[in-house]
Amino acid sequence: KAGVTQTPRYLIKTRGQQVTLSCSPISGHRSVSWYQQTPGQGLQFLFEYFSETQRNKGNFPGRFSGRQFSNSRSEMNVSTLELGDSALYLCASSRNPRDSYGYTFGSGTRLTVV
Amino acid sequence: AQRVTQPEKLLSVFKGAPVELKCNYSYSGSPELFWYVQYSRQRLQLLLRHISRESIKGFTADLNKGETSFHLKKPFAQEEDSAMYYCALSEYSSASKIIFGSGTRLSIRP
């Protein structure tokens, strides 16, 4: 079966712009989570969606937002980009929020802010 | 505060030697503990969970609630074990809001 698909793989944006990243979960998975990975801070939880509802949110400013569609695909948006937003953004999906065994990561979108 | 600590950024051992990757956690409640692995140019993937009590690729990890530790061990390292290893936790039986440690890069020398 197809894995978690994240698009685009790479992105270069300038400060002040906004960006939208996409995540298509494994078929049948309805829970999607987002993480930011940086060399300095490591992997940090951004938010989690299940059945189009945000269930959990990490400690990130309001410039970071997300949503989930009825087909379980999810997008995250970062507005007013800052240099510090440069990171690898990872998406993970599972059947439901209790499915820790099936929790599967995508390859990520590498965002560079210049 | 909920936290996962991996004290070693880099661990280098010879092939055939035992490996122990350390992980300590801080959590108010009953956590579920995981080890994730990321091989070069591959996705982050689950290696094992404490509730499964399984051995994957020769690796085992025992949850020590008294010491709040979840160290990853393998008796005989192989070159293909070279990778980045992350210890992580979540609320028990939950895949929500997983908290990751900073990771340990394991390098196996031939």
CB contact B55 to A (< 8 Å): no
Residue A104's alpha-carbon distances to A2, A47, A109, B20, B44, in angstroms, are 11, 15, 15, 25, 8
Q: How many C-beta neighbours within 10 Å does residue B18 have?
A: 10
Question: Touching check for B32 and chain A: CB below 8 Å?
Answer: yes
Q: How close are the terminal C-alpha atoms of chain B, in Å? A: 40
Instruction: Write the DSSP symbol of residue A57.
Output: E
Measured CA distances, A105 to B12, B24, B65 (Å): 27, 23, 28
Question: Any idea which residue has 């300095």 for tokens?
Answer: A40
Minimal Cβ distance to B97: which of A56, A104, A106: A56
Cα torsion A105, A110, B2, B5: sign: positive
> Is A97 close to B43, i.e. CB distance below 8 A?
no
A69-112 confidence digits (pLDDT tens): 999 999 999 999 999 999 999 999 999 888 888 889 999 999 99
Cis previous bond, A8, omega within 30: yes
Q: Map residue B80 onto helix, strand or coil.
A: helix
Scanning the structure block, which residue is given the tokens 């010491």?
A: B67
Give residue A1's pLDDT.
65
Which position has the token pair 């996409």? A22
CB-CB under 8 Å, B96 with A55? yes
Contact between B44 and A105 using a beta-carbon 8 Å cutoff? yes
A48 in contact with B, Cβ within 8 Å: yes
3-state helix, strand, coil in chain B (%, to 5): 5, 50, 45
More confident call, B91 vs A34: A34
**Cα–Cα distance measured from residue B110 to residue B77, given in angstroms and rounded to the nearest whole number:** 10
Q: Which of A114, A70, A67, A71 is nearest to A91 (CA)?
A: A67
Contact A30, A95 (CB under 8 A): yes
A90 contacts B44? CB cut-off 8 A: yes
pLDDT of residue B58: 92
pLDDT tens string, chain B, 110 residues long: the values are 789 999 999 999 999 999 999 999 998 888 899 999 999 999 999 999 887 778 889 999 988 989 999 999 999 999 999 999 999 998 776 777 899 999 999 999 99
CB contact (8 A) between residue B43 and residue A105: yes
CB pairs under 8 A between A and B: 58
Instruction: State residue B93's pLDDT score.
Output: 67
- Residues 5-34 on A with a CB inside 8 Å of B are 31, 33
Residue B79 exposed, middle or buried by CB count within 10 Å (0-12, 13-18, 19+): exposed
Q: Are A98 and B97 an interchain contact pair (Cβ–Cβ within 8 Å)?
A: no
Residue among A3, A45, A99 whose CB faces B97 most closely:
A45
Residue carrying the six token digits 């949850």: B63
